Amino acid sequence: PIFVTLGIAAFAVVILYVTKEFVNPRVTLGTVISYAFDLKKNYNVKIVGTIPTGIPPPEFPDLSVLQPSMAVEIITVAIIAFSVCVSLAKIFGKKYNYEELIAYGICNTVGAFFHCWPAGSSLSRSAVQDSMGGKTQVAALVSSTLLLCSC
């Protein structure tokens, strides 16, 4: 466990250093150039604009973006994702007396009103993490990092 902790700390330090030394100056330079040459007006370069702070007010999801031609694909993906999540919730709910389905339902219902992505799960990763004794989000973070590094 100490090596995992050291590895995560070293990885975080590297990311923070690279961001501070290389990304921030370039972002600042790009912002100055964009403003000085008025790239949006002169060359129709899209800019981010104002980024709102805080949590957006809740609102009903905009269903006008859904295309009828995508209905079959949308329903198929929704059914598969829901089936996997419910299966995992039932498996680990029985094993550890979790109330995952309540959390899953609340998460997706409330999240829909705040423009959140729907929650999902991975059967294989959850099973491997459980078999290795992982109990916290740190185990999920480590497995996600290893998965990212293997790509």
- What's the pLDDT tens digit per position in 11-37? 999 988 888 888 778 888 888 898 899
The two structure tokens encoding residue 105: 């339902």
pTM of the model: 0.56
Q: Which residues touch 22 (CB under 8 Å, ≥6 apart)?
A: none
Q: What is the 3-state secondary structure (H, E, C) of the chain?
A: CHHHHHHHHHHHHHHHHHHHHHHHHHHHHHHHHHHHCCHHHHHCCCCCCCCCCCCCCCCCCCHHHCCHHHHHHHHHHHHHHHHHHHHHHHHHHHHHCCCHHHHHHHHHHHHHCCCCCCCCCCHHHHHHHHHCCCCCHHHHHHHHHHHHHHC
The two structure tokens encoding residue 150: 């293997």
Write phi, then psi, for 61 (nearest 5 degrees).
Answer: -60, 145
- 36-68 confidence digits (pLDDT tens): 999 889 988 888 878 888 888 999 988 888 888
The two structure tokens encoding residue 82: 């829901």
- 59-109 confidence digits (pLDDT tens): 998 888 888 899 999 999 999 999 999 998 888 888 888 888 888 899 999
Cα separation, 76 vs 49, whole angstroms:
36
pLDDT confidence of residue 73: 94
